[in-house]
Structure 1
């Protein structure tokens, strides 16, 4: 998956916005103003940071060499994923969905209801 396909998939999800809050090289995707994905645009091959359940994060790192501890992020809750390596687009989309869903679950019930997630 290239960075543009990654961007398009992230933006296809409900209530997602993109911004550059840190610098002009780090593209951030948010749902309801909460970050679920980051892409360092200067990295080649392209890598992204995705939120992940802590136990699953460890399993993924053990299973795939293209998934490592989150770079410049909490090593417990974030993975860095090489999206231009050997991972399938299907798996990358599953990881994006997992990150997005974790953030949505962390929203208040009131906000989840307002946005139509409940």
Structure 2
């Protein structure tokens, strides 16, 4: 998966999430996806390659960095709570969707209950 495919996949997934929106607060080189004014994903190529920066659970982030060369600590973010996904390393496409969704849900879970566009405990689970 090249950088444009990586960012395109992440962008497509983010746009499916309730309440998610795109902003450009850091200028034209950055796409910032927020839910209720809280950042959950950043896309940029200021590092020389297209990358995706996502919020993660610290333990999950550690495991992901150990498992995949393409996942490193968050670029210009808190290294404990954010990861950078690079286009190299043959990441499975469903993993990109999962990482974007997990980042979104971590942010939603920290919102006041009345502002949550979805219930993070049940989002994405089949009902019935």
Answer yes or no: same fold by TM over 0.5: yes
Give the structure 2 partner of residue 76 of structure 1.
80
Offset, 1:44: 5.3
State the superposition RMSD in angstroms.
1.7
Secondary structure (helix, strand or coil) at the match of 1:79 reads: strand
Distance 2:46 2:69 in 1: 21
1:89-108 maps to which residues of 2 (within 5 A)? Answer: 89-108=93-112
4+ aligned runs moved over 6 Å, structure 1: none
Higher RCO (CA < 8 A, seq sep 6+): 2
The counterpart of 1:21, out of the listed 18, 21, 25, is 25
Give the structure 2 partner of residue 63 of structure 1.
67
Q: TM-score, normalised by structure 1?
A: 0.89
Instruction: Please list the CA deviations of residues 59-79 of structure 1 after superposition, one character each: whole Å capped at 9, or x if unmatched.
Output: 110110000000100001000
Instruction: Please list the CA deviations of residues 71-103 of structure 1 after superposition, one character each: whole Å capped at 9, or x if unmatched.
Output: 100001000001454101101111001100000
Is the deviation greater in 39-48 or in 69-78?
39-48
Offset, 1:48: 0.7
Offset, 1:6: 2.2
Unpaired runs of at least 5, structure 2: 121-128
Give the structure 1 partner of residue 113 of structure 2.
109
